[in-house]
Structure 1
Amino acid sequence: MERLGVLISAGLTPYSAWRHLLARSEPLLSPKNERQLLDDLGEGLPPTAALLAEAGRHPAGLAEGWRRLAAAWALAGESGAALSPSLHALAEALRSRAEIHHDLDVASAGPRSTLRLIAALPLLGVACGEALGFPVAATLVGTTPGRVLLAVGVALLLIAVFWARRILRAASRYAAPEDVLLDLTAIGLAGGGPPGGAREQAESWAEQCGLSLPLGGRRRLTEILELSEGAGVPAGLLLGSESIVARRLERTDLRRRAERAGVRLMLPLGLAALPSYICLGVFPLVLSLLNSTGLIGPAP
């Protein structure tokens, strides 16, 4: 993104800047998407429209970055702000966003491993019994008590996996970032517009580009603009620092949620997965031992 800003500030057209960037940088896009983006720009499609079209060719997580780039590009052109500083600021925001995703993946690695253990534990009990020479599987299928245990064990296993996945989804839920409106408004202010007008432009382009604007971000922006007006301090500087704070708080919240998920996963593990292991691995082993000693026989 920084390289793109430098090329644009040097006077290159969007098509030329993207062509040089894609030709000499590490692969940013698949060959098909790269050709499509250059074709769109080469045919005279406005950069904002070309970037939005590119966003449509990516999954939601990656599309957000392209949409933010499209909104920043359009807003800089409309407000008269220099595009290069705007792209530098956007690059910092997207870099922070990538770090947040990485932190979430790292923090949720432990809980996800626990989920795999929950799913494998009952099956491991059956395999261990068979490896020891006991007909655990035959007992589960061929006897009435075994079939009851099989039904209960499978039901408990499904409950454990479903419960654990819900906990992980709740921990990994990714809310719309609050820094989008702050960063876009800062671009509008850099063009020399009044705070109210810059905010309206930012909201308009964010909506046109399909970006979500959470209520928390709107509140932050209102507080910053009121503080700027009351203290006589440039709002652009305050918006930049507030964006950093918003991203930092978001990273902290995601880490905290992942840590809580690791603790909450003990509930499906203890209340469903372990009982499932007992039903599928321990009790059938006991039944097979009793059958082998003749104390009980298969159900007629």
Structure 2
Amino acid sequence: MSFEKFAALLAAGVSQQQAIDLSGVRNQPHFSTLRLAIEAGSPAIDAARVLAKVQRIESDTRDEIEQAQQVPISTKKLMLWLPWFGLMLAELTGLEVVHALFSPLGLVLLGISAGLSYLGHRISERMIKAAIDTSKPPQQPILRLAIFIQTGIQLGEALKLCEIPKQSELIQFALRSGANLKLLLQSQIESDLAAWRNRSLVIAKQLSVRLMLPLGLTTLPAFLLLTVAPILLGALTKGEI
């Protein structure tokens, strides 16, 4: 994890520029937030540790989504290749399924099967894309606000830079109670990350179940059209039924 390496290098006394070069954070998606902390004069190590958590959650979510795809994808591959094996065995038994498959009715069934398989593939792709988009990390105005607060910028100016309304519940609570805004922001960041992680994992687990829907509605009918129908047609052609 690049941001973890960056934070570890800073903790070891390495300069910020060297830590950036050695850790490879410059090529990471959230480097702009880290650069903001550095340019604002805020402790970069605090921002790096938060971004390391963001990076870790993103990695866990990707792993969960990939794992959710494995069973449906493996089942789909099996159901798409197994019919050809069955047709070959049926042909060897003399049922003339190849002739039946390339008859006008057989070609229609073959076209419908291909269409169903393509439809199932497209639906599955959309489901996976939607899950990835939904589990993207939230915007980080609170993190940017914490960075500016640590630099000593006035609250009003910091809120303006981060585009956070002063009427925000967290800000109003800090102003009314006199609570330490920095600690409140840190707590809010931790809470947001935990909520995002839980939501992402739930989405990934739901995906594994939802992907069975196109499998059952499209791939399974395609499997039947490529196995049962040609064999029946071959048997009828030979006059065995």
Deviation of the 1:160 alpha carbon: 0.8
Q: Report the number of matched residues.
A: 232
- Give the corresponding residue for 1:124: 82
- CA separation in 2, counterparts of 1:219 and 1:107? 35
Structure 2: gaps (5+ residues): 1-5
CA contact (8 A) 1:115 1:164 kept: no
Are residues 1:113 and 2:71 paired?
Answer: yes
SS at structure 1 position matched to 2:186: helix
Deviations 1:174-208 (A, max 9, x none): 566336211121121112222222223345xxxxx
Are residues 1:185 and 2:142 paired?
Answer: no
Q: RCO (CA 8 Å, sep 6+): is it higher in 1 or 2?
A: 2
TM-score (norm 1): 0.67
Deviation of the 1:139 alpha carbon: 3.2
SS at structure 1 position matched to 2:30: helix
In the superposition, relative to structure 1, how do residues 90 and 15 fare at CA in structure 2: closer, same or farther (>3 Å)?
closer
Deviation of the 1:120 alpha carbon: 4.5
- Percent identical: 23
| Aligned partner of 1:102 among 54, 59, 71 | 59
Are residues 1:139 and 2:134 paired?
Answer: no
- CA separation in 1, counterparts of 2:143 and 2:192? 11
- 1:111 corresponds to which letter in structure 2? Q
Are residues 1:155 and 2:115 paired?
Answer: yes
Structure 1: gaps (5+ residues): 23-27, 30-50, 56-61, 204-217
CA contact (8 A) 2:135 2:199 kept: no
CA contact (8 A) 1:125 1:281 kept: yes
| Aligned partner of 1:241 among 162, 176, 187 | 187
- CA separation in 1, counterparts of 2:212 and 2:220? 10
CA contact (8 A) 2:113 2:226 kept: yes
The residue correspondences of 1:24-173 to structure 2 (distance < 5 A) are: 28-29=23-24, 54-55=26-27, 62=28, 64-76=29-41, 81=42, 86-108=43-65, 109-131=67-89, 133=92, 136-140=97-101, 142-173=102-133
Are residues 1:294 and 2:239 paired?
Answer: yes
Deviation of the 1:251 alpha carbon: 0.9
How large is the Cα RMSD of the aligned pairs? Answer: 2.8
- 1:128 corresponds to which letter in structure 2? G
| Aligned partner of 1:280 among 226, 229, 237 | 226
- CA separation in 1, counterparts of 2:11 and 2:19? 9
CA contact (8 A) 2:80 2:219 kept: yes
- Give the corresponding residue for 2:171: 225
- CA separation in 2, counterparts of 1:96 and 1:159? 38
